[in-house]
Amino acid sequence: MKDENIEQLKNTIGNLTIMDPSQNGIGSNKSFLEKQYLYQRSSVLLTKEVGSKTAWTKADVEQHRDLLINAALAIFRP
């Protein structure tokens, strides 16, 4: 069953994480719970943190968005 709150956010920066291309292909458009094992086995800490969640909610997406934006500003702001 699709969560309409997440459907609205699925193509936003808050719903993105770094994955190996082959893992991304395996995960494809599956639900969070179906992809959680891929996130947990990632070598990228940020992605492992996503996998440590028990669900992927609107609040999680918004929190992840803020984390990514703040990281980008810290790295790229002159």
Q: What is the pLDDT of residues 19-70, one digit of tens each?
A: 988 888 888 888 899 999 999 999 999 999 999 999 999 999 999 999 999 9
Q: Residue 17: is its pLDDT beyond 70?
A: yes
- Residue 37, pLDDT score: 94
Residue 56 lies in domain: 4-76
Could you give the CA distance from residue 74 to residue 28 in angstroms, rounded to a whole number? Answer: 30
**Residues 1-10: contacts with CB within 8 Å, 24+ apart?**
3/57, 3/58, 5/57, 5/58, 6/32, 6/56, 6/57, 6/58, 6/61, 9/58, 9/61, 9/62
Average pLDDT over every residue of 8-27? 90
What total of structural domains would you count in the chain? 1
Q: Residue 7: is its pLDDT beyond 90?
A: no
Q: Residue 1: is its pLDDT beyond 80?
A: no
Alpha helices by DSSP H, listed for 1-78, are 4-7, 21-27, 32-40, 45-51, 58-76
